[in-house]
Amino acid sequence: MDSKKVDLSLLDGVLNEYAQVKGSLITILQHTQDIYGYLPKEAIELISEKTGIATSEIMGVGTFYTQFRFEPVGKYLIMLCQGTACHVNSSELILQTIKDELGIDDGQTTEDGLFSLKCVACLGCCSLSPVMMINEDTYGSLTPDKTKKILKELREAAQ
């Protein structure tokens, strides 16, 4: 995404509501990410200006929590669960399958901007392990073949 296209006016509502409420930095960052899909540099600078919190501190908080991203993500964000039950039920095989199929590593996005891969802590659907979430949908009891099929279907749907 071209950084020039970041429309900062989208943040007005959030900043009007929370900028002067103490302790709201994480809430503001969460709303910002909901709007842009990540935390753009320009938005961080504006948040700093409106809240009086130094950009260094905002970056400190932003980088501390795994939820926050500083780069745009693909159309499909794959969150692969790394919980204990998934580990015991061979989530490693699923990770390898996704890496092989998409040619990306944890934290990366495919060149066509379609898929991003993120390994996450337990999603809490342990009885369906191994599990992944793609955007809002959860996929359980994965096998390498099932995973490949899901990725193929999404790729076709996007075309």
Partner 1 sequence: MRIVIGQGSCGIAAGAEKVRKALLNTNINKDDISITGCIGMCYLEPIVDIYDDNNKVTRLVQVSENDAETIAQFVESGDKSLLDKLIVSDEDSEFLTKQTRIALRNCGILNPEKIDEYIGAGGYEAIKKALTEMTPEEVIDVVKTSGIGGRGGAGFPTWFKWNAARSSEGEEKYLICNADEGDPGAFMDRAVIESDPHNLIEGMLIGAYAIGAKHAVVYVRAEYPLAIKRLKKAIEQAKEKGLIGNNIFGTDFSCDFMIKAGAGAFVCGEETALIESLEGHRGMPRLKPPFPAQSGFWRKPSNINNVETFANIAWIINNGGEAFAAMGTEGSKGTKVFAVTGKVKRSGLVEIPMGKTLRDVIFDIGGGMKTDKDFKAVQMGGPSGGCIPAELIDTVIDYKALGATGAIMGSGGMVVMDESTCMVGMAKFFLDFTAKESCGKCIHCRIGTKRMLEMLERITKGEGKEGDIELLEELCYSIKDGALCGLGQTAPNPVLTTIKYFRDEYEAHIKDKKCPAGECSDLIEYKIDADKCKGCTLCARNCPVNAISGTVKNPHVIDTDKCIKCGKCYTVCKFGAVVKE
CA dihedral (78, 79, 80, 85) positive or negative: negative
Lookup result for tokens 């901007």: 113
Instruction: Please calculate the CA angle 130-36-121 and round it to the nearest 5 degrees.
Output: 25
Q: Between residues 9 and 127, which has the closer beta carbon with respect to partner 1? A: 127
Instruction: Give the shortest CB-30-to-partner 1 separation in angstroms.
Output: 6
Binding site for partner 1 (CB under 8 A): 22-27, 29-30, 60-61, 64-68, 82-85, 87-89, 93, 96, 100, 120-129, 131, 138-140, 143-144
DSSP, res 44? H
Lookup result for tokens 């700093």: 48
Instruction: Give the shortest CB-100-to-partner 1 separation in angstroms.
Output: 8
Instruction: Give the shortest CB-4-to-partner 1 separation in angstroms.
Output: 28
Strands (E), 87-131: 115-120
Q: Between residues 4 and 22, which has the closer beta carbon with respect to partner 1? A: 22
